[in-house]
Amino acid sequence: MAIDSIDVTAGGIRIRASPLAQSASCPACEGLSWRIHSRYDRTLADASIGNRPSRLVLRVRRFLCPSVG
């Protein structure tokens, strides 16, 4: 993972991160894929940092299975 940004506001701390891997294996066929199907953000609530609420926002990707068309 790479840290893309850290924002500190009165409402808390937001850390944005994204993966460094360029590929992933399919959980069904175990084939390796580089073709990205989509991207979306996942937000995880975390423990306080310096008495401020914190959130970790991960930019995750879905890959296309290499066995499918």
Q: What is the number of domains present in the chain? A: 1
**Exposed e or buried b for every residue in 5-29, given b needs 16+ CB within 10 A?**
eeeeeeebbbbbbeeeeeeeeeeee
Residue 36 included in any domain = yes
Give pLDDT tens digits for 41-56: 988 776 677 778 888 8
pLDDT attached to residue 29: 87
State the distance between the two ends of the chain, measured CA to CA, in whole angstroms: 30
**Nearest residue to 57 (alpha-carbon basis) of 38, 45, 40, 42:** 42
Q: Residue 2's pLDDT band (boundaries 50, 70, 90)?
A: very high
**What's the pLDDT tens digit per position in 12-51?**
888 999 989 889 888 888 889 988 889 999 887 766 777 7
Range of the domain at 42: 2-63
Can you give the pTM of this predicted structure?
0.68
